[in-house]
Amino acid sequence: MRSVFIVPFIFGLNAFATLIITRLPSLIIPLHKNSPDSPQNTQKKAFVQHDINTEISFDVPSNGASKCKIGFYISTDPSRGAPWELWGAPPLTFNIWSIEPRINQYTDTWNNHPKVTGWVATVEVGNTGVISIVGGDVLCAKGQIAQFLLTPASGRDFGLTWFELSDPLHGITYEMYN
């Protein structure tokens, strides 16, 4: 019986936490190494590959959340139409970094973007869409913006693209719990 109460402390997220809201990015901005000084503006698809990093921004609501985390999901049900593509030798591993909250969709480039302020998570995506996340906890930015940079975790030639969807849940998320 004691293990029921110990497990939530071992794995971090309180097993009794209730999800308040899940947010999808309001901005997705690719930063292309091959066009290092050309802004790409916001996109509907996200990219992580050896020559493309991606900035993401979330509009975070004010609420009673006491715990927040970054999540990542791939819907593999072909009947749900959640587009994604993984190429190269899987698994693809990418890092999520917090950045100064000053993304500018019109001027940010590979050579000019907000400063990275810390590691948030490492995400591994297998060729069947199986996801493994290490980390992900962030301070709740209630009523503010929260911004992050997605970068490959190695220099291997591989890539991942996806289209953000809320139903089915597909892509990167900002999740708020109480």
Domains of the chain: 19-177 (2.60.120)
What is the end-to-end Cα distance of the chain in Å, rounded? 24
pLDDT of the residue at 14 = 53
pLDDT of the residue at 10 = 41
pLDDT of the residue at 153 = 94
Q: What is the pTM of this model?
A: 0.89
Residue 40 Cα to chain centre, angstroms: 19
Residues 6+ apart with CB under 8 A from 92: 48, 86, 124, 125, 152, 158, 159, 160
Can you give the C-alpha Rg of the chain in angstroms? 16
